[in-house]
Chain A
Amino acid sequence: KAGVTQTPRYLIKTRGQQVTLSCSPISGHRSVSWYQQTPGQGLQFLFEYFSETQRNKGNFPGRFSGRQFSNSRSEMNVSTLELGDSALYLCASSPDRGRGTEAFFGQGTRLTVV
């Protein structure tokens, strides 16, 4: 069974640009969550999607947005990039929502903003 696939793996963007990151969950998984990982702030929750609906949102500015498609694939978008957006963005998929549900993580997209 294929794991969580994130594309691209690496990305370099200029300040002020926008970027779209993609996540393909494990087949049959309906829940997708996104996290930002930085050396200073650690792992921070961005969004949770289930059945194409955003169920939870972390404490990030409106420049960060996302969506989930009917096949459960998800994208996140960051507009007007800032240097501080440089991070590893991790996507996680889960079969469902509920107590103790395991999250399966992709390898991440390394975004560098210059």
Chain B
Amino acid sequence: GNSVTQMEGPVTLSEEAFLTINCTYTATGYPSLFWYVQYPGEGLQLLLKATKADDKGSNKGFEATYRKETTSFHLEKGSVQVSDSAVYFCALSAPNYGGATNKLIFGTGTLLAVQP
């Protein structure tokens, strides 16, 4: 079945450090890939997405490239800020026999803590 694997946290970085959070997926067909972020006490917010191979999603300095050959969608940011501290979820959505779906399959989440 479809699944998402992302690196265990927590990830602790100093401000302005480079961030990478690894995400790999298993899916039949051609899924859409997403990164969502959850701040304390909040619901999830879409950070970025990519819908086909070699697409790069980007937002607020974060980037991720849809790599079909390695089934990966790693999240990167060149210089993190304290305000980036949150839990980051990699997710996929894949059509099924019933056609299009908004069902999301999430990874376990990675807690990022950025220290001043």
Contacts and interface: CB of A to CB of B under 8 A. Distances in A.
Interface of A: 4, 31, 33, 35, 42-43, 45, 48, 50, 55-56, 58, 90, 92, 94, 97-108
B103 A33 contact: yes
A105 B102 contact: no
Interface residues of B, number: 27
A55 B43 contact: no
Given A43-B106, A48-B101, A105-B44, 18 more contacts: A4-B43, A31-B102, A33-B103, A42-B106, A43-B89, A48-B102, A50-B102, A55-B98, A56-B96, A92-B43, A94-B102, A99-B95, A99-B100, A100-B32, A100-B49, A102-B46, A106-B43, A107-B42
Interface of B: 32, 36, 41-46, 49-51, 89, 93, 95-96, 98-109
A4 B36 CA distance: 16
